[in-house]
Chains A and B, each alone.
Chain A
Amino acid sequence: MSRGQAMVDSGKKTLLRILRGRETGVLLALIVLVIALSFLGQNFFSTRNIFSILRAVSFEGIAALGMMLAMITGGLDLSIASNMALSGIVVSLLMTSGVPVLPAILIAILAGMAIGLINGIIITRIGLGPIITTLAMLSVVRGVAFMITKGLPVVNLPASFTWLGQGMIGGVIPVPILFFLVVAVLVHLLQRYTVFGYHLYATGGNELASRYSGVQTKSVTLLTYVISGALGALGGILLIARLGVAQPSIASGYELAIVAAVVIGGTSLDGGIGSVLGTVLGVLIIGVIRNGLVLANIGGYYIQFANGLLILAAVVINRLRGIRN
């Protein structure tokens, strides 16, 4: 076989791999959805609407990247939305009691990491299942958010902080989108090009094989929950900055939408498989559907119903993928 022929073959193989890839299906679904929604009127394709969709998904999108990491290890982080709320409360309380913006944000992210650490320790050292562990933590963390605020919203947040959620770069691009983009790129690099990323997939793919190969799978899993906690916190902080008010009930139920986005994006519920690109696309699908519901005047009461159906659809797709493999 000539060298040229070999290159053509290898090119063909790469093309096939892209076409068969999980992300391709998700992208096609998104495109179909966008085309369908464009019939709702010109509003959908306006720059304003597109940026508003992107901004609306940025907060959950950042958290979804953390959820994806936990799911690649074969686990799940149901406490992530409560974590978003608590971190938002922490940053707000610190700022209203005089701590400058940047240190307040860092401390709030550390709080998120601490929650992740607790999840990780219970899962890896005590050996409880991720679902029950993070489900309990969902309630514990949300409870702490209510306890420290006594249920009252924290108001009067500094403008330099709310800019992170409300500001625009060049008057067009909302700041949260940039955060989402940067985090996505960083997580992608972490996953694809570092030993940690390699171990993340190995642990989720076959924990025993990885352990027999000398990989400290428990440490990998623990670290993953810490990162997931940090990303949940960052998403929560930006969400509070966007709203300008920190309510302890904020982001309630987001964990299900986030799981739906991650699974729709091709991450396997059994672990070992998942990508940043897929997750971003999954998040966009959820965002576009929500936006479509609003534009079509169907209204907010249907959003939770739609989320539930999406999760079911995503799990069925996950199962069908498993059967095909």
Chain B
Amino acid sequence: MNLLEIRGLAKTFPGVQALKGVKLAVEAGTIHALVGENGAGKSTLIKVCAGIERRDGGEILWKGESIDVRSPLDARNMGISVVHQHFPQCSNLTVAQNIYLSELSKTTLRPVRWRERNERANGLLRQFGVDQRPDELLGNLSIGERQVVEICKAIAMNVELIIMDEPTSALALEELESFFSMIDRLREQGITIIYVSHKLDEVFRIADKITILRDGNDVFSGEVGDVTPSEVASLMAGHAVAEFERLNLTAQEKEVPLLALDGFRVGDRVLEATLSVRPGEILGLAGLQGSGTSDLMKGLFGLSSEATGTVRIEGEEIRIRTPQEAIRAGLGYVPADRHVEGLCLIHSLAENTGITILRRLARKGWLPRSAVRNLGEDSIRMLSIQSHSPWQVVNYLSGGNQQKVVLAKWLATNPRLLLLDDPTRGVDVGAKAEIHSILRGLAKAGKACVMTSCELPELIAVTNRIITMYKGKITGEYRSDSVTQEDIMHAITGARTADGQHREAEDDE
């Protein structure tokens, strides 16, 4: 039986037809993957089902009956719950208070029996293996635990369908396993899941069925076993795509490295890092959250007052204390969170691109609009950014296009070395490939890149060399063409170090 059925769903926003008559049939008790590139209409579909947006046309059937979802509360009452990508929560409240916010969503003067509710919340948390007190402040929990709280919130409302929007994008690598075991537990309880993602390895691991969206239409629906990941990727993109093209860049064997670090420290987060980057090279930094990879980049770019150690650029020792000094030294930095650290979302593409080189664009202290516009137009052309004008406000661009704007603003500075912290996070397959080719182009021109990625296959495919970090220390260095994911996983989880200590202990005996 179909728990949820959507027929001819349409939704138009000013200037964009986000959904052009989508159909979707979700069987009770299954895990149904909904995949598509950014801008394919996944988010809009979710928002309509969750009662956040109203539909313009089409029909939604819930257990065979036509329904109208007017508000998030409406959806919850019917038994539909959404776990949003960056699930908003109240970190000032306790775990239990977050769990019962939906159930107690009607504002009254009735008393709440927290003692009783804490006990019930405790039961829910134990069920999903979270070892936290229900009266702990939510802000003190890890991201993974907070996501479980969001699931508990849905369970507390006796939901039958949970829609998960990119549920693993907020999680660290080491939290993935417990996430998948939570999904298994939900499956055992007979809860139906719509799993929205563009991470195909996850989809093929857990989903029963798959529906592919492209440009507001459903282009495929069927059993996961009937398609291969590369077929799905092609359907998502509308044309055939190579999964990951391996780059074989021959790093120019120059005597002088472009960047050399010696005993580089950033507080207690990066300890005595010594490494070098040659011109023409893309160096990967692999590490879990808190391993120091991000801190190393920030420290190098003058964003930490605690950075010490020797930094040489083309053999010349320099001190970088501020981003201005870093830019002068020829560095660029693409931060991990483009919304918070990378862009002024309410400003235009052209203004965002020009921000790094305002002084160069200015004429006698005046900033001609034409110079800014030209730069924006150049960026749109060079990076094939999907934007109708250089004055387009970046907030309305898709994730991939926003990331290209961040890249564009650094390319404008003509950097020698680009630091990129997870540059393809939340970016669709097509834009991902384009970003890779931009990096490759830089390397070919004798520049260099240092990058991280939360996806190891990508890191291996794109880079020439990978340096692994664990708890602030460099634990290994690998050639990307001969390393396996397993090798790296060992080096970044401390498994190798632990093995070594184990062996040493045995040798002593």
Contact = CB atoms under 8 A, between A and B. Distances in A.
Contact of A190 (B101, B106, B109): B109
A198 B97 contact: yes
Contact of A194 (B73, B90, B112): B112
A206 to B, nearest CB: 5
Contacts of B82: 212
A195 B106 contact: yes
B107 interface: yes
Interface in B391-406: none
Contacts of A89: none
Interface bracket on B? 20 to 34
A220 B109 CA distance: 11
A194 B111 contact: yes
Contacts of B87: 209
A212 B111 contact: no
Counting chain B CB atoms within 10 Å of each CB, which of A210, A272, A273 scores highest? A210
Contacts of A215: 101, 105, 107
A198 B139 contact: no
A107 B483 CA distance: 80
A202 interface: yes
B269 interface: no
Contacts of A15: none
Interface in B44-98: 50, 52, 71-73, 76, 82, 84, 87-93, 97-98
Interface residues of A, number: 28
Given A194-B109, A194-B110, A213-B101, A208 B88 contact: yes
B93 A214 contact: no
Contacts of B92: 201, 204-206, 268, 272-273
B278 interface: no
A228 B93 CA distance: 22
A202 B101 contact: yes
A198 B108 contact: no
Contacts of B108: 194-196
A216 B50 CA distance: 16
A145 to B, nearest CB: 32
- Which of B73, B88, B92, B104 lies at the interface centre, i.e. has the most chain A CB atoms within 10 A of its CB? B92
B107 A196 contact: yes
B104 A195 contact: yes
A211 B72 contact: yes
B153 interface: yes
Interface string A175-193: 0000000000000001001
A193 to B, nearest CB: 5
A208 to B, nearest CB: 4
Q: Per DSSP, are chain A's interface residues mostly helix, strand or loop, or mixed?
A: helix
A202 B88 CA distance: 11
A220 B112 contact: no
Given A198-B97, A202-B101, A214-B73, A272 B90 contact: yes
Contacts of B50: 212
Contacts of A199: 107
Contacts of B76: 213-214
Interface string B254-278: 0000000000000000000000000
Among B97, B107, B109, max chain A CB count under 10 A is at B107
A216 B90 contact: no
Interface string A204-238: 11101111111110011001000000000000000
A213 B93 contact: no
A325 interface: yes
Nearest to A274: B92
Interface in A269-319: 272-273
Nearest to B82: A212
A202 B52 CA distance: 19
B112 A209 contact: no
A201 B97 CA distance: 10
A190 B108 CA distance: 10
Nearest to B140: A325
Contacts, number: 84
A206 B107 contact: no
Interface in A238-277: 268, 272-273
Determine chain B's interface SS by DSSP, over half rule.
loop
A23 to B, nearest CB: 15
A212 B90 CA distance: 11
A212 B98 CA distance: 12
A195 B107 contact: yes
Contacts of B72: 211-214
A216 B107 CA distance: 7
A219 B104 CA distance: 15
A196 B101 CA distance: 11
B350 to A, nearest CB: 29
Nearest to A223: B107
Nearest to B139: A325
A209 B88 CA distance: 5
B102 interface: yes
Given A202-B97, A202-B101, A214-B72, A195 B110 contact: yes
A283 B425 CA distance: 49
B105 A214 contact: yes
Contacts of B98: 209
A232 to B, nearest CB: 21
A218 B90 CA distance: 16
B101 A210 contact: yes
Contact of A198 (B71, B89, B104): B104
B89 A209 contact: yes
A220 B106 CA distance: 10
A205 B139 CA distance: 11
A199 B108 CA distance: 9
A198 B112 CA distance: 8
A213 B105 CA distance: 7
A296 to B, nearest CB: 39
B232 to A, nearest CB: 30
Contacts of B91: 205-206
Contacts of A204: 92
A193 B112 CA distance: 6
B121 to A, nearest CB: 14
Contacts of B89: 206, 209
Contacts of A206: 88-92
Nearest to A190: B109
A199 B106 CA distance: 9
Contacts of A198: 97, 101, 104, 112
A195 B139 contact: no
A273 B94 CA distance: 12
With most chain B CB atoms within 10 A of its CB, the pick from A195, A213, A215, A223 is A213
B83 to A, nearest CB: 10
Contacts of A209: 87-90, 98, 101
A250 to B, nearest CB: 32
Contact of B93 (A205, A211, A216, A219): A205
B90 A219 contact: no
A195 B93 CA distance: 13
Contacts of B106: 195
Contact of B102 (A213, A220, A223, A325): A213
Given A213-B153, A215-B101, A195 B109 contact: yes
Given A195-B107, A195-B111, A205-B93, 6 more contacts: A195-B106, A205-B90, A209-B87, A209-B98, A209-B101, A268-B92
15 contacts: A195-B107, A195-B111, A196-B107, A199-B107, A201-B92, A201-B93, A202-B90, A202-B93, A205-B91, A209-B88, A213-B76, A214-B71, A215-B105, A216-B105, A220-B107
The 4 closest A-B pairs by CB, nearest first: A214-B73, A214-B105, A205-B90, A209-B88
